[in-house]
Amino acid sequence: MVFQAFLDDSADDSIYVLAGHIASAEQWAALAVEWERLLPKYGVLSKDGQYHFKMSEMAQNQERLARIGPFFRLIEDHIPVTLSCWLKLDDLQKANARFQVKGQSFPLPSEIKPFRVAFRALLNTLADSIDILKEELPIEFPIEFYFDEQSEKSEILSGWDRYFKGSGEGLRQLIGAAPRFEDDRRFLPLQAADFQAWWVRKWRKDDTPEWGEPSDMAGYRPRKERTAVDIQVRERDIADVLRSMYLKRVPQGSQLFEQVPHDEFSLSLNFSMTKSDDSID
């Protein structure tokens, strides 16, 4: 059985999230059929005359927000696992500010972009935890990964073979082929990923637990137990990447200095299970 992960991103001025869901190809196909049927009644009509779902547009007013319930229930009925990776955007600058050579700081490298940081952290953390994932998640490996179209698409794909060959056995067990970047108008599961990414960003920004208040989901709460994998990329994790980059760039005879905060935590992989609850439909 083939399992697929569909992921999209969501960002504001403080939080960046890459999130979505994992399910079998059959489960995704069933969701896509039903999702398409919901769009004319509950979605938003775009300028090109096509109905679609985008959570940021649904959240623009209470009338639209009240229409998200059927989409949420559809995800809940078909999708067994949610997945998210997120970071605080100011941690990029904080991590970079640690490093100096001859009293001079570095400008943040152009390749250290939120999507690329989250993309690598997501795959590397899952690959490093592959044995745990096999025990904890009701899915099979390897997984096919699909992402919404990104400006970094060409950079990711051009360096994929080098990245994949240089990685360990865990990554080869996790993902069997290069990731795909698709249009969410053609691949409707990406709209379900957009749903998840928007809500994860809201929860992390507000520092509130998932499904903590019925009003947070326009009155909807989970009915079924579903597994969620959550990965936070912290300042230290970004600094680890920058350190390896800067060590290669330090001029001969110079020394790279790093100021490390007293309290640090490493990148974390968390599992949670949503609990059945009374719902307000």
- Rg (the chain; Cα; Å): 20
Average pLDDT of the chain?
88
Q: Which two tokens stand for residue 10?
A: 């969501």
Alpha carbons 149 and 153: distance in angstroms, whole number: 7
Name the DSSP class of 19.
Answer: E
Q: What is the pLDDT of residue 180?
A: 96
pLDDT of 116 over the 80 cut: yes
pLDDT of 265 over the 60 cut: no
- C-alpha angle 208/22/220, rounded to 5°? 40
Alpha carbons 249 and 12: distance in angstroms, whole number: 32
Residue type, 249: R
Instruction: Give pTM, 2 decimals.
Output: 0.89
Q: Are 230 and 84 a contacting pair, CB within 8 Å?
A: yes
Residue type, 82: T
Of residues 228 and 261, the one with the higher pLDDT is 228
Alpha carbons 15 and 232: distance in angstroms, whole number: 11
Q: What is the pLDDT of residue 278?
A: 39
Tens digit of pLDDT for each residue in 57-115?
999 998 999 899 999 999 999 999 999 999 999 999 999 999 999 888 989 998 899 99
How far is C-alpha 245 from the geometric centre of its chain's CA atoms? Answer: 24
**Residue 52, CA distances (Å) to 152, 173, 186, 219, 239 in order:** 24, 34, 10, 22, 39
Tens digit of pLDDT for each residue in 32-43?
999 999 999 999
Q: What is the pLDDT of residue 276?
A: 43
Q: What is the pLDDT of residue 270?
A: 61
Q: Are 161 and 196 a contacting pair, CB within 8 Å?
A: no
Q: What is the pLDDT of residue 271?
A: 60
Alpha carbons 102 and 172: distance in angstroms, whole number: 41
* Adjacency order of strands within the sheet including 3-11: 180-182, 143-148, 3-11, 15-24, 81-88, 227-233, 268-273
**DSSP-based three-state secondary structure for 83:** strand
Tens digit of pLDDT for each residue in 219-260?
566 777 778 999 999 999 999 999 999 998 888 888 999 988
